Structure 1
Amino acid sequence: MTTLDEFTWMHIGAGSFHRAHQAWYLHRLRVKGDDRWSIALGNIRDDARALLDILTAQNGEYVLETVTPAGERSYEKITSLRSIIAWDEQLSALIAKGADRQTRVISFTVTEGGYYLNTDFKLDQQNDDIKADLNGGVRTIYGTVAHILRRRRATDSGGVTLLSCDNVRHNGERFHEGLTEFLTLQGDTQLTDWVTEHTSTPNTMVDRITPRPAAEIAGRVKDKLGIDDRAPVMGESFIQWVVEDNFINGRPALEQVEVEMVDSVVPYEEAKIRILNASHSCIAWAGTLLGQSYIHQSTGTVPIRQMAYDYVTQDVIPSLSPSPLDLAHYRDVVLERFSNPYIQDTNQRVAADGCSKIPGFITPTLVECYRRGQSPDATAVLPALFFLYMRRWHEATLPYDYQDGILDKQATHALYASADPIAAYANDSKLFGPLAGNAEFEQLLRRTINRLDAWVQDNSAVFAGH
Structure 2
Amino acid sequence: MKNAHQPQSSVWLHIGSGSFHRAHQAWYLHRLLAKGDNSWSIALGNIREDGVPLLNALQAQGGKYVLETVTPQGEREYETITSIQKIIAWDNELAALVAQGADPHTRVISFTVTEGGYYLDNQFNLDQQNADIQADLQGGCRTIYGAIGHILARRIALKGGDITLLNCDNLRHNGERFRHGLLQFLALRQQHDISDWVKNHTRSPNTMVDRITPRPSPDVAVRVAQATGFEDRVPVMGEAFIQWVIEDDFIAGRPHLEEAGVEMVESVLPYEEAKIRILNASHSCIAWAGTLTGQRFIDESTRTPSICQMAYDYVTEDVIPSLTPSPLDLARYRDVVLERFSNPHIQDTNQRVAADGFSKIPGFITPTLQECYQRGQTPRATAMLPALFFVFMQQWHLGLLPYEYQDGILDAPAVHALFSSADPVAQFAADEKLFAGLAGDKAFTELMRQSVERVRHWLNDAKRV
Structure 2 CA distance, aligned partners of 1:175 and 1:340? 33
Structure 1 CA distance, aligned partners of 2:258 and 2:321? 32
TM-score calculated relative to the size of structure 1: 0.98
Counterpart pick for 2:281 among 270, 278, 286: 278
Q: Deviations over 1:321-344 (max 9, x none)?
A: 000000000000000000000000
Counterpart pick for 1:47 among 47, 50, 57: 50
Q: C-alpha displacement at 1:5, in angstroms?
A: 3.9
Structure 1 CA distance, aligned partners of 2:100 and 2:8? 17
Does structure 1 residue 420 correspond to structure 2 residue 423? yes
Counterpart pick for 1:166 among 169, 183, 192: 169
Aligned to 2:30: 27
Secondary structure of residue in 1 paired with 2:44: strand
Aligned to 2:406: 403
Aligned to 2:84: 81
Counterpart pick for 2:460 among 449, 457, 461: 457
Q: C-alpha displacement at 1:461, in angstroms?
A: 5.2
TM-score calculated relative to the size of structure 2: 0.98
How high is the sequence identity, in percent, across the aligned residues?
A: 68
Aligned amino acid, residue 385 of structure 1: L
Q: C-alpha displacement at 1:454, in angstroms?
A: 2.5
Counterpart pick for 1:343 among 339, 346, 358: 346
Moved more, 451-460 or 97-106: 451-460
Does structure 1 residue 128 correspond to structure 2 residue 162? no
Q: Deviations over 1:202-235 (max 9, x none)?
A: 0000000000001011111111111110100000
Compared with structure 1, are the counterparts of its residues 68 and 143 closer, same or farther at alpha carbon in structure 2 (3 Å cutoff)? Answer: same
Counterpart pick for 2:155 among 138, 152, 160: 152
Secondary structure of residue in 2 paired with 1:136: coil
Q: C-alpha displacement at 1:48, in angstroms?
A: 1.2
Aligned to 1:192: 195
Structure 2 CA distance, aligned partners of 1:40 and 1:394? 42
Structure 2 CA distance, aligned partners of 1:4 and 1:461? 68
Aligned amino acid, residue 443 of structure 1: E
Structure 2 CA distance, aligned partners of 1:176 and 1:42? 21
Structure 2 CA distance, aligned partners of 1:396 and 1:44? 31
Aligned to 1:250: 253
Unaligned runs of 5+ in 1: none
Secondary structure of residue in 2 paired with 1:415: helix
Aligned to 2:331: 328
Kindly tell me the number of residue pairs found equivalent between the two proteins.
462
Q: C-alpha displacement at 1:66, in angstroms?
A: 0.3
Aligned to 2:445: 442
Aligned amino acid, residue 435 of structure 2: F
Q: C-alpha displacement at 1:178, in angstroms?
A: 0.6
Aligned amino acid, residue 406 of structure 1: I
Structure 1 CA distance, aligned partners of 2:281 and 2:97? 33
Q: C-alpha displacement at 1:292, in angstroms?
A: 0.3
Pairs within 5 Å for 1:89-238 = 89-238=92-241
Moved more, 1-10 or 395-404: 1-10
Moved more, 202-211 or 181-190: 181-190
Let me know the Cα RMSD of the aligned residues. 1.0
Structure 2 CA distance, aligned partners of 1:460 and 1:51? 40
Unaligned runs of 5+ in 2: none
Structure 1 CA distance, aligned partners of 2:407 and 2:66? 29
Q: Is the 8 A contact 1:10 1:103 kept in 2?
A: yes
Q: Deviations over 1:263-314 (max 9, x none)?
A: 0000100000000000000000000000000000000000100000000000
Secondary structure of residue in 2 paired with 1:227: coil
Aligned amino acid, residue 196 of structure 1: K
Q: Is the 8 A contact 1:208 1:235 kept in 2?
A: yes
Secondary structure of residue in 1 paired with 2:128: coil
Q: C-alpha displacement at 1:4, in angstroms?
A: 4.0
Q: C-alpha displacement at 1:68, in angstroms?
A: 0.4
Structure 2 CA distance, aligned partners of 1:461 and 1:45? 45
Structure 2 CA distance, aligned partners of 1:381 and 1:267? 24
Structure 1 CA distance, aligned partners of 2:376 and 2:425? 24
Secondary structure of residue in 2 paired with 1:325: coil
Structure 2 CA distance, aligned partners of 1:461 and 1:64? 41
Q: Is the 8 A contact 1:4 1:102 kept in 2?
A: no
Secondary structure of residue in 2 paired with 1:48: helix
Aligned amino acid, residue 153 of structure 1: I
Q: C-alpha displacement at 1:186, in angstroms?
A: 1.1
Aligned amino acid, residue 434 of structure 1: G
Structure 1 CA distance, aligned partners of 2:257 and 2:432? 40
Aligned amino acid, residue 338 of structure 1: F
Q: C-alpha displacement at 1:121, in angstroms?
A: 0.5
Aligned amino acid, residue 459 of structure 2: V
Aligned amino acid, residue 129 of structure 1: D
